[in-house]
């Protein structure tokens, strides 16, 4: 889940990560859990799979990810908040 769309954001050149800001993985986990709660299991599974594609070779999550690269790790690594959100989402999605 991205915080903003760079090309549609005023002051784009001033963004800290420019066009390369990754998805905030903890929010992506929350989205997967929310989709599951709302009765959208396929959307929940896809969101979780996208997040999982950003894991490193040690299977841990960083703060943000970019599924276009392998590994797509960005930001602080490992990040406990992301790991905890993943555990909740994985249990919810099953």
The structural domains of the chain, with segments of one domain joined by +, span 27-68
For 32-83, how does the pLDDT look when each residue is reduced to its tens digit (9 = 90+)? 999 999 999 999 999 999 888 888 788 888 888 876 766 678 888 888 999 9
Average pLDDT over residues 9-13: 63
Q: What span, in angstroms and rounded, lies between the C-alpha atoms of 59 and 85?
A: 15
pTM of the entire structure?
Answer: 0.75
pLDDT band at 18 (very low <50, low <70, confident <90, very high): low
- Report yes or no: 88 and 29 within 8 Å, Cβ to Cβ: yes
């Amino acid at each position: 889940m991205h915080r903003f769309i760079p090309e549609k954001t005023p002051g784009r050149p001033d963004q800290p990560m420019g066009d390369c800001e990754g998805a905030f993985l903890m929010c992506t986990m929350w989205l997967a859990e929310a989709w599951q709660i709302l009765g959208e299991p396929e959307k929940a599974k896809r969101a979780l799979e996208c997040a999982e594609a950003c894991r490193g070779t040690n299977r841990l999550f960083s703060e943000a990810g970019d599924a276009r690269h392998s590994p797509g790790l960005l930001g602080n690594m490992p990040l406990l908040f992301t790991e905890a959100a993943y555990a909740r989402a994985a249990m919810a999605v099953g």
